[in-house]
Structure 1
Amino acid sequence: MAIWEWALEAYAQPGVPEACLKLQDEHGQNTSLLLWAVYAEVKDPLVLARAAEAARAWDATALKPLREVRRALKAPLPPFGDGARQELREEVKAVELAAERLLLETLEGLTRGRAGAHALEALEAASKAWDKPAPADALARLAAALG
């Protein structure tokens, strides 16, 4: 199964969206990097360093700006009509998802096949490669939700 389809299925599991958003919003993690690490079962520090570098660049260039615009468009902004604002917000959301997909597919290209790391091992290694590692309990919640 390709990474995008896997990520959509994984994100649909109970507890995964909440765990991902907590890691992203409260601990500054890149959830695409974390999900890719679980998908690829990777814990190799060199591969993770390359992946984190790519994710940081994409995060700064595309993901964070798109997320900020989408979130800013959530609240009413008179005199702009609510319907038009919400429609634009949905378009930005679609572009944000396309940017997430591009990141995941790019990261998938860094590995061929599975490396054999268990979900929690992969999450811990990816979180460490990202920058300041997320708390172990937050990573464990995501690993448990992913099954």
Structure 2
Amino acid sequence: MDRHAHALSRTGDEAARHYERALDALLFFRAEVADEAQAMAAASPHSVMAHVFDAYLGLLGTEEQEAADARRSFGAFRSTVDPAGLSPRERMHAAAAQTWLDGNMSRAGEILGEISTEYPPRRPRPGRRTPDRLLHRGRSAAARPDRWRAFRVGR
């Protein structure tokens, strides 16, 4: 389970710790995100979220080859996994990653939005810094504060 009590299928405790550190690194734009993601995959090579995370990182990179490698790697992984053995949230993440890898970023974003609505994070643990966007869990995008509204042209 992750910090929000979401299932991490085929993921051991060590890999789960690397997953949490990789998420923190990604959220706070720290360089160790790739190292933690690789450590997660090494600790649990069959972890669903390790492969999903790797696909997302491949898509977020600036090199076209990274996205092509992520597509090939994720496709190979998905061919070995029975979706029935995944949690509903993991199935949605796998679908979002595959949809994005297939070139439909808009639909992938919709699926990711559905995930954050259906599986909101729990309240942060005391002493833990949490980005503002995570504190608005379960609310639609329209209900979230728009900090950039003053900069939007034509509104």
Q: Tell me if TM exceeds 0.5.
A: no
Which structure exhibits the higher relative contact order, with contacts defined as CA atoms closer than 8 Å and separated by 6 or more residues? 1
Structure with more helix by fraction:
1
* TM-score, with structure 1 as normaliser: 0.29
